[in-house]
Amino acid sequence: MISLSNSPVKSDLLAGYPLGLAFDEMFERDHTVRPHYEPLFRKLASLSPEEFRRRKGMTDLSMLQDGVGFTVYRQEEGIERIWPMDPIPRIIPAKEWAHIERGLVQRLEALNLFLKDIYNDQKILRDKLIDPRLIFEGTYFRREFVGAKVPRDIYIHVCGSDLIRAADGTYCVLEDNGRTPSGVSYMLTNRQVLKRVFPQLFEGYDVRTTDDYPAALLDVLRYISPVRHADTTCVLLSPGIFNSAYFEHSFLAQRMGIELVEGRDLVIDNNRVFMRTTRGLTRVDVIYRRIDDDFIDPVTFRSESILGVPGLVNAYRAGNIALANGIGTGIADDKGIYPFVPDMIKYYLKQDPILPNVETYRPLVPSQRDHVLKNLDKLVVKCVNESGGYGMLIGPHSTAAQREEFRAAILANPRDYIAQPTIQLSTHPTFVDGKIEGRHVDLRPFILCGEKITIVPGALTRVALPKGSLVVNSSQGGGSKDTWVLAEE
C-alpha cells in the first residue's frame, strides 16, 4: 500500500496535495492511494513538472490543430476555443462501472416508459403519482404529440446522465439529459489524444475501448427506421458551423459515415423528407437531430427559426421519418420532474432504484418552500428551464443580493425552481499551474436505447478548473478528462 507520505519516489508535482471535505478519486482520507490508481500514481510521481507541462502543451496543441473546440458566438465572428483536456485520466474500476451501468439502464428504461405513458394513457397522472400541472405546465411538454405513435415506442435514444459522488463516494444522478445531450465526441477524442500524447500512462491498465460508440449509435438509428431495407438513409441534422457543438456533429457524422445536413439541405415533399444532392433529391429515413424541438420545424414550433425544416413534424407524425431523439422528451429531463424519477422506477418497473437521486426540494410544496427560503445560503437553487450552468444559485458562494433575487423569483414562480443541498462533488488530481491539485469532477456516461439499452464503457468527466468551483460546464471554465473504465480482472 502506498500513500503520498511513504511513496518510494519524491514527487514535486504532487507535494502538498490538499484533501478537502469531498471524496477524492485517487486518495483515501489518510492520503493512501486507492488501489486502482496505484500504477498511475507511480507514473505521475516519476514525472517532473517540466515534463508534465510539456505533455500538457502537446495536448492543447493537438486539440487546437484537430479543431476540437466549441464556438463562443459573439458579434460577427465566432470565437473558437478549445475545451481544455487535463491529461490525468479518471479511472473507474470494473465493479463500480457495472453498478453505474445497471443503474443507468434501469433509469432510461423507466424514462422511456414514462414518456410513452405521458404521451398516451397518462396512467401515472391518473394514479396521482405526479401532479398533472407539473406535466402540462412544463416548458418541454409537447401537447401536440399526445397520442402520436413513435417508432418502436422509444422516445429517448441517446441520454447523457450526469453523475456526481457524495462525500462517502456514492454515485448519485444529478440530472438526465434526454433532449440533445452533447459531449460524447470529447469522450472519444480525449482518449485519442491521451493515447498519442501520454501512451506511458496506460501501462499497467486494461482500459476498455470506447471506439464502438459511433457504430452503436448507427445501429440505434437503423433500428428505428421506418423502412426495413438494409440501406436505410440516416443523416445527422445540425444547426451549422456556428453552433457550439458543431465539432461534435461533424465528428459523429464522419465516424458513422452518414451525411451531416443542415435545415437548408432538406426538403419535404408530400410528407416525405429528401436531401438536395448534386444528382437531385435523395430520400431520408432517419434523422439524428441535434436541433432542439423549438427550432426543428418553423411550421409547428417557433416560426422565426431558419435552422429547421418546414413540414418535418408532419412527416414525423405520418411515420415517414424517424427522429432521434423524439420530440417532447424534454419533459423527462425537466428539473421539476427529476425528483419523481425514483418513483417512476418503482411504478413502471417494480424495482428499487439502483442509483439514488440527489435530495431535492420543490418550492411548489409549501413546507419545502419554507425550508428552501430559510436555507438559501446553504442550498443550490436551479431554474428548471435552464442548463449549461446558467440560472443557478450556489448558496455558499452567493451574495446577499443574489439570494434576494432568487427568493423573489421562487415566490413568484415556485414551479420553475428546485433546490438541492450543496454537494461537494468528488475531487480528482488535476494539473493546474505547474502542480497537481484536487478539482471537482462529475461524470457523464452516454446511454443508447435501440433494440436494447447499452452504454459504451466510458464517459465524459468534466472538471471545474477554478479552485473550489463546483460548476463543471464548458461555458463556465470547465475542462475535461479522459475516463477509463477498467476491464474485469
Distance CA 387, CA 444 (A): 15
**Shortest separation between residue 450's beta carbon and other proteins, angstroms:** 22
User: Could you tell me the smallest distance in angstroms from the CB atom of residue 248 to other proteins?
Assistant: 11
Restricted to residues 273-302, the positions that interact with other proteins (CB under 8 A) are 275-281
270 binds other proteins (CB under 8 A): no
Q: What is the DSSP string of 145-172?
A: GTT---GGG-S-SEEEEEEEE-TT--EE
User: Measuring CA to CA, which residue among 183, 120, 181 is closest to residue 482?
Assistant: 183
Instruction: Name the minimum Å distance from CB 391 to other proteins.
Output: 31
Least Å from the CB of residue 173 to other proteins: 33
Contacts with 276 (C-beta within 8 Å, 6 or more apart), sequence order: 265, 266, 267
Residue whose CB is less far from other proteins, 63 or 455: 63
Query: Could you give the dihedral angle defined by the CA atoms of residues 429, 431, 432 and 434, in that order, rounded to the nearest 10 degrees?
Result: 130
Beta-carbon contacts of 345 under 8 Å, excluding residues fewer than 6 positions away, are 106, 107, 110, 351, 352, 353
Of 149, 165, 91, the closest CA to residue 115 belongs to 149
Instruction: Rule CB under 8 A: choose which of 145, 251, 347, 484 binds other proteins.
Output: 251
Minimum gap (Å) between residue 254 Cβ and other proteins: 4
CA distance 44 to 13: 8
Chain-centroid distance of CA 237 in Å reads 19
Q: Which is nearer to other proteins, 69 or 458 (CB)?
A: 69
Q: Shortest approach of other proteins to residue 259 CB, angstroms?
A: 6
Residue 225: CB partners within 8 Å, gap ≥ 6? 151, 232, 234, 285, 286, 322
Q: Tell me the CA distances in angstroms from 487 to 270, 322, 452, one per residue in order.
A: 51, 35, 22
What is the smallest separation between the CB atom of 278 and other proteins, expressed in angstroms?
A: 5
List the one residue from 149, 264, 378, 467 that touches other proteins (CB under 8 A). Answer: 264
The footprint of other proteins on residues 35-74 (CB under 8 A) is 64-67
Q: How far is the CB of 262 from other proteins (least distance, A)?
A: 7
Stretch that binds other proteins, among 246-254, 307-315, 358-366, 429-437 (CB under 8 A): 246-254
Nearest distance from C-beta of residue 302 to other proteins, angstroms: 23
Q: Report the nearest approach of other proteins to the CB of residue 221 (Å).
A: 15
Using rule CB under 8 A, residue 84 touches other proteins = no
Minimum Å gap between C-beta 77 and other proteins is 9
User: What's the rounded Cα separation, in Å, for the pair 68 and 60?
Assistant: 10
Span near other proteins by CB under 8 A; candidates 152-160, 272-280, 295-303, 347-355: 272-280
Amino acid at 468: G
- 65 or 367: whose CB is closer to other proteins? 65
Query: Residue 407 burial by CB count (10 A; 0-12/13-18/19+): exposed, middle or buried?
Result: middle
Instruction: Kindly tell me the sign of the dihedral angle through the C-alpha atoms of 207, 208, 212, 214.
Output: negative
Q: Of 70 and 114, which CB lies nearer to other proteins in the complex structure? A: 70
Q: Single out the residue of 48, 170, 200, 254 in contact with other proteins (rule: CB under 8 A).
A: 254
Among 15, 146, 167, 241, binds other proteins (CB under 8 A): 241
Instruction: Indicate which single residue of 7, 32, 250, 475 sits in contact with other proteins (rule: CB under 8 A).
Output: 250
For 28, other C-beta atoms within 10 Å of its C-beta total 13
261 vs 464 by CB, closer to other proteins: 261
Stretch that binds other proteins, among 16-24, 269-277, 311-319, 444-452 (CB under 8 A): 269-277
Residue the block writes with cell 448507427: 218
Q: 303-306: long-range contacts (C-beta < 8 A, 24 or more apart)?
A: 306/263
Instruction: Note whether 374 binds other proteins by CB under 8 A.
Output: no
Q: What cell was used for 453? A: 439499452
Residues near other proteins (CB under 8 A), total: 24
C-alpha cell at 47: 514525472
Selected binder of other proteins within 253, 449, 470, 485 (CB under 8 A): 253
Residue 306 is placed in which grid cell? Answer: 431558419
Stretch that binds other proteins, among 127-135, 262-270, 299-307, 396-404 (CB under 8 A): 262-270
CB count in 10 Å sphere of residue 301: 18
Residue 261 binding other proteins, by CB under 8 A: yes
By CB under 8 A, name the binding residues for other proteins.
64-67, 240-241, 246, 250-251, 253-254, 259-262, 264-265, 275-281
